[in-house]
Amino acid sequence: MKDQPDLNLSPEVSDEIRKTTCYMCACRCGINVHMKDGKVAYIEGNKDHPVNQGVLCAKGSAGIMQVNAPSRLKAPMKRVGPRGSGEFEEISWEEALTIATDWLAPVRKEDPSKLAFFTGRDQSQSFTSLWAQGFGTPNYAAHGGFCSVNMAAAGIYTMGGAFWEFGQPDWDHTKMFVLFGVAEDHDSNPIKMGIGKIKERGARMVGVNPIRTGYNAVADDWFGITPGTDGLLIMALIHELFKAGKLDLDYLARFTNASCIVNEDPSSDENGLLLRDDEGQPQVIDKNTGHLAPWNGQGVEPDLASTHRAAGVTHRPVFHLMADRFLDPKYAPDEVAEATGISADRIKQLAADMAHVAFDEAIELDRPWTDFRGKKHAKMIGRPVSMHSMRGISAHSNGFQTCRALHTLQIILGAVETPGGMRFKPPYPKPATAHPKPHGKVTPGGALNGPHLGYPHGPEDLMLKEDGSAIRIDKAFTWENPLSAHGMMHMVISNAHAGDPYKIDTLFMYMANMSWNSSMNSTGVMEMLTDTDEDGEYVIPRIIYSDAYSSEMVAFADLILPDTTYLERHDCISLLDRPICEADAVADAIRWPVVEPDRDVRGFQSVLCELGARLNLPGFVNEDGSQKYEDYADYITNHIRRPGIGPLAGWRMGEDGLSDGRGDPNEGQLDSYIKNGGFWHSEVPKEASYYKPFNAAYQKWAVEMGFFDSEQPYIFTPYVEPLRRMQLAAEGHGRVQPPDHLRQQVKDTMDPLPIWYAPLSDERIDTSEFNVHALTQRPMAMYHSWGSQNAWLRQLHGRNPLYVPTKIWEQHSFEEGSWAKVTSPSGVIVVPVMHMAALNENTVWTWNAIGKRKGAWALDEKAPEATEGFLLNHLIHELLPEQADGMRWSNSDPVTGQAAWFDLRVKIEKVAAPTEAQPATPAQKSPVGKGPNSQAWKVGK
């Protein structure tokens, strides 16, 4: 036998490790970037990092192929061909910034609302919103409106936070984890780590999703539900638990407004609101006295049962209204089985399992704590049923109320902020009352009167002009969708094109692929972006766009401000914004340039610092008119939001040296972050670790950390008064009332207790003709449109057939290689199909955002993403099918305006294979050329 070769078993791994934050998706994991000869050699997870604890997904490890991607934009560009052609000329930054200033300065002077500034998958919203506020336009938002605002808003209004950045299952204690809908695209590594953890312990996992891929593939039990009926299933589960009395009554009485008394006087203009004392506090009946008392009174023991009689009217606690609602026989399992596609027996079993785990397998932690009424509790009692959900249940026109139902289910089990249930991540929980309200007062040449986005509490908070028309271009915070807390980016182009509610001058967007996968009706949006008026001018006169890559949207801009990749820039993942905290720790993080750009590109936020100064925006200039922040790093270090509070909470300068949370700016702050691996974190004290909204120790710590300036305990609100206030207006009360054509919709959908109604488009189309549901799922190895430019990731998911369940496959005699014509009420696509058995029998689906326009992303025009890849977006209209009323009804949730992507219904026919998927959009010219024909990317010697 030949001798074994002598191997060097300890080769040098790298010259240096630079630790920063990943941005291959929105998850924000810590990464170790191994450098060789000044180049990125290898990327792995950071073991000390609170989010990912060393693990890293496929996207994160493929970051090296993003930093070298041929799709990276190289320099500022101005358009020289027609819009959409992709014909550009490279220009200098000076020229680019001069053009932008020349366009924007007159707009600001005359009417700032003629600028619509929307920032897509932005992770710097507390900064970009400040810029927009300084500019003075009311037209600012990020992409939440077309993503998961239903989840976020329902969570905030119901209990002060939802999932992902707000909260997480208590992975260490939970015994039953129930996952609703597609969730592979947010909080991705923590969820996978959590699933691994509970499987190791033998805890049970239940998946509710029409499609059994990803996390649902490893679920112990799978419920292949009919799309859009999640809320109905949840209402049935609540029904069963109420019927059986399997409720955490003590928790409901103490920590929720189930014990608050409702004004039931039908003649009152506050009918349906909570009875309040002279100080405006909702009232409960105190068991100690039998009398009304404020909900937060010291020593008060709220009663769920007793009623209050005054002036001949009996006023009941919310809990009685909940019983009325949830015991309604229409929510019985037998009644909902057909619509949900889940048998009554299985629904009952699921409810029984939840009850069994919550109450028979309860957890007790020996951790004494004191609540806000001063009551001392010897133990922390846990109901170890945890849940998670993101876009799947929220991207429906009934999504807000469905998400509310989900949180109510958690609450009646006592499984929020208790051991084994769901836990909030600081600075959450934070109720709607602790958030700003929306602002929209425009002053020519001046700043907006406050932050754009927020949580309305009643009709007075809506963004309406005196004549009732919308203040905002996206019509957020109007009667069409009063609680649109994240704005409605998906309506901006359509409304700007229609001049409804008004015309704009400049559309300025960042990191949002609106001409392609981020819009409904992509073909229509491309037409709107290129449409001209009778004078031959573009209907949307000017478009400025910033992106790091040659996306489909680039071709539609007049001016391109090229951004850096995530390894070439400063960023801060701030407590003022969307932080990276865990249930046991408050944390924030930075990105920093671990490599310098090799192109003439600049971080978008740094560009805004300079553009803001050129436009003389308040907050971006010094008193002498000079530029206030040299770049984004300068802003991160020196911006002060409130006294002692800045973008980063770690290593601030306190009175006695370095401090956490509060303190003055510290010039060495970014260096301290870099030295610590790119993040800061501080642990929640043990006695404050659960019951956070009600826990005196947590409230004290939250003030010390600067989340709040005063302690503000609150109780969960299964009964949401702001919804009832909107209903009251629709019933004819108050100064601000909905227009007549919206009254009924407001009454029907703004119910203060969770309800379920069928997706709105179902009423407007023939569901027997369009009898198939069509959805997208998120491949775990791709993030929206970004993955296809990545040489490694596109080898994993380069194709996206339409997956068809067995029943439909056989009905149409599909076979391998077949193509189908898929028709919705608003569009037609022709696409390749593939059989998949693990599906709801009436649901087809494909991977999200694999399809690409020819010429985009530096791909060859023959790339499968461009020839066989497709989008369902062409089938989804931003407006509902036209009705006799002639009104424009948005295809969105009527409460929040969330894009109802997943309400889509189609019909399917087998057709002969075309040469490529239809519609085939003509190519755009690539401003960056094409990628190489082969590569072997080794940077070391």
Partner 1 sequence: MTTLPTSTTKKLGLVIDLDTCVGCHACVISCKGWNTENYGAPLSDQDPYGENPTGTFLNRVHSYEIQPKEAPAQLIHFPKSCLHCEDAPCVTVCPTGASYKRVEDGIVLVNEQDCIGCGLCAWACPYGAREMDQEEKVMKKCTLCVDRIYNENLPEEDREPACVRTCPAGARHFGDFADPESNVSRLTAERGGMDLMPEMGTKPVNKYLPPRPKDRDRSEDVDILAPFLEPVATETTGFLGWLDKALDAMPGSSKGGKN
164-203 binders of partner 1 (CB under 8 A): 188-189, 192-193, 195-197, 199-200
By CB under 8 A, the residues from 791 to 820 that bind partner 1 are 791-796, 798
Answer yes or no: are the C-beta atoms of 443 and 136 closer than 8 Å. Answer: yes
Minimum CB distance to partner 1 smaller for 328 or for 687: 328
Q: Which of residues 823-842 bind partner 1 (CB under 8 A)?
A: 836-839
**Which residues, including other chains, have CB under 8 Å from residue 201's CB and lie 6 or more apart?**
none
Using CB atoms within 10 A of its CB, is residue 622 exposed (0-12), middle (13-18) or buried (19+)? exposed
Give me the least distance between CB of 309 and partner 1, in Å please. Answer: 7
Q: For the CB of residue 821, give the shortest distance to partner 1 in the complex, in Å.
A: 25
Backbone angles phi, psi at 819, to 5 degrees: -120, 155
How far is it, in rounded angstroms, from Cα 73 to Cα 899? 30
Stretch that binds partner 1, among 366-374, 623-631, 816-824, 856-864 (CB under 8 A): 856-864
DSSP 86-116: --EEE--HHHHHHHHHHHHHHHHHH-GGGEE
Please say which residue, 375 or 888, places its beta carbon nearer to partner 1: 375
Q: Of 55 and 422, which has the nearer Cβ to partner 1?
A: 55
CA distance 19 to 48: 10
Our CB check for partner 1 shows the closer of 352 and 434 to be 352
Q: Binding to partner 1 by residue 468, rule CB under 8 A?
A: no
Does residue 353 interact with partner 1 by CB under 8 A?
A: yes
Residue 348, Cβ density class (10 Å: 0-12 exposed, 13-18 middle, ≥19 buried):
middle
Measured from the CB atom, is 220 or 763 closer to partner 1? 220
- Which CB sits closer to partner 1, 47 or 675? 47
End-to-end CA distance of the chain: 32
Calculate the alpha carbon distances from 226 to 94, 591, 777 in Å: 55, 41, 15
619 touches partner 1 (CB under 8 A): no
The residues pairing with 416 across neighbouring beta strands, listed in sequence order, are 422
Instruction: State both tokens at 152.
Output: 């976020």
User: Is residue 147 close enough to count as binding partner 1 by CB under 8 A?
Assistant: no
CB of 939 to partner 1, least distance (A): 7
Q: Given the complex with partner 1, which of 618 and 798 has the nearer CB atom? A: 798
230-243 helix and 318-326 helix, angle to the nearest 10 degrees? 110
Q: How many CA atoms lie within 13 A of 743 on its CB side?
A: 11
**Side-chain-facing half-sphere of 62: CA atoms under 13 Å:** 22
Interaction of residue 336 with partner 1, rule CB under 8 A: no
Residues 291-330 that bind partner 1 (CB under 8 A): 291-292, 301, 303-309, 319-320, 323-324, 327
Cβ closest to partner 1, residue 56 vs residue 178:
56
> Could you tell me the smallest distance in angstroms from the CB atom of residue 940 to partner 1?
6
Q: Give the C-alpha separation, 129 to 307, whole Å.
A: 46
Closest CA to 608 of 641, 647, 636: 636
If the CB atoms of residues 289 and 771 are measured against partner 1, the closer one turns out to be 289
At 695, is the secondary structure helix, strand, or coil?
strand
Residue recorded with tokens 């239903």: 150
Residue range at the interface with partner 1 (CB under 8 A); choices 37-45, 83-91, 109-117, 473-481: 37-45
CA gap 210, 843 in Å, rounded = 7
User: Which amino acid, one-letter code, is at 251?
Assistant: Y
Q: Which of residues 61-100 bind partner 1 (CB under 8 A)?
A: 61-62, 64, 70
Return the range that interacts with partner 1 (CB under 8 A); candidates 386-394, 445-453, 704-712, 789-797: 789-797
Q: Which is nearer to partner 1, 759 or 801 (CB)?
A: 801
Contact track, partner 1, 519-558, x by CB under 8 A? ----------------------------------------
CB of 864 to partner 1, least distance (A): 7
Is there binding between residue 7 and partner 1 (CB under 8 A)? yes
| Footprint on residues 394-453 left by partner 1 (CB under 8 A) | none
Instruction: Give least dist CB 153 to partner 1, A.
Output: 29
The residue with tokens 């998911």 is 797
CB of 860 to partner 1, least distance (A): 4
Nearest residue to 652 (alpha-carbon basis) of 638, 642, 641 = 638
Asked if 378 touches partner 1 (CB under 8 A), the answer is no
Among 335, 664, 860, 916, binds partner 1 (CB under 8 A): 860
> Which range in 41-49, 388-396, 424-432, 879-887 contacts partner 1 by CB under 8 A?
41-49
**873: nearest Cα among 776, 767, 788:** 776
Indicate the residue among 605 and 921 with the shorter CB distance to partner 1: 921
Residues 6+ apart with CB under 8 A from 727: 272, 746, 747, 750, 751, 752
Q: Binding mask 236-255 vs partner 1 (x if CB under 8 A, - otherwise)?
A: ----x-xxxxx--xx--x--
Contact predicate 30/590, CB 8 Å: no
Residues ≥6 apart with Cβ < 8 Å to 347: 233, 236, 237, 240, 333, 336, 337, 340
Minimal distance in Å, beta carbon 58 to partner 1? 4
CB of 47 to partner 1, least distance (A): 7
Which range of residues in 90-98, 436-444, 822-830, 857-865 is near partner 1 by CB under 8 A?
857-865
Q: Rule CB under 8 A: is residue 43 a binding residue for partner 1?
A: yes
Q: Please identify which residue in the block is written with the tokens 């992770």.
A: 123
Instruction: Check binding of 376 to partner 1 (CB under 8 A).
Output: no
Least distance (Å) between residue 638 CB and partner 1 = 36
Stretch that binds partner 1, among 354-362, 404-412, 481-489, 904-912 (CB under 8 A): 354-362
Between the alpha carbon of residue 13 and those of residues 6, 43, 140, 676, the distances in Å are 18, 11, 46, 21
Site for partner 1 (CB under 8 A): which residue of 16, 110, 220, 277? 220
CB of 442 or CB of 793, closer to partner 1: 793
Given 657, 862, 884, 912, the residue binding partner 1 (CB under 8 A)? 862
Residue from the set 99, 344, 352, 765 that interacts with partner 1 by CB under 8 A? 352
CB of 128 to partner 1, least distance (A): 30
Instruction: Pick from 87, 105, 222, 276 the residue near partner 1 by CB under 8 A.
Output: 222
Q: Which of 289, 469 has the CB closer to partner 1?
A: 289
Instruction: Provide CB contacts within 8 A for 211, sequence distance 6+.
Output: 182, 224, 775, 777, 803, 838, 839, 840, 843, 845
Q: Give the integer Cα–Cα distance in Å for 761 and 397.
A: 8
Binders in 725-784 for partner 1, by CB under 8 A: 780-781
Of 471 and 781, CB closest to partner 1: 781
Which of 219, 234, 342, 507 binds partner 1 (CB under 8 A)? It is 219
Listed in sequence order, the residues at least 6 apart from 860 whose beta carbon sits closer than 8 Å to its beta carbon are 866, 930, 931
Q: Rule CB under 8 A: say whether 4 interacts with partner 1.
A: yes
582 binds partner 1 (CB under 8 A): no
Q: How far is the CB of 265 from partner 1 (least distance, A)?
A: 16
Q: By CB under 8 A, what part of segment 876-935 binds partner 1?
A: 930-935
Q: Which residues of 94-123 are buried (b: 16+ CB within 10 A; e: fewer)?
A: eebbebbbebbeebbeebbbbbbbbbbbbb
Please count the CA atoms within 13 angstroms of the CA of 321 that sit on its side-chain side: 24
- Who's near 245: CB < 8 A, 6+ residues apart? none
- Rounded-to-integer distance, Cα 359 and Cα 880, Å: 45
| Identity of the residue, 330 or 700, whose beta carbon is nearer to partner 1 in the bound complex | 330
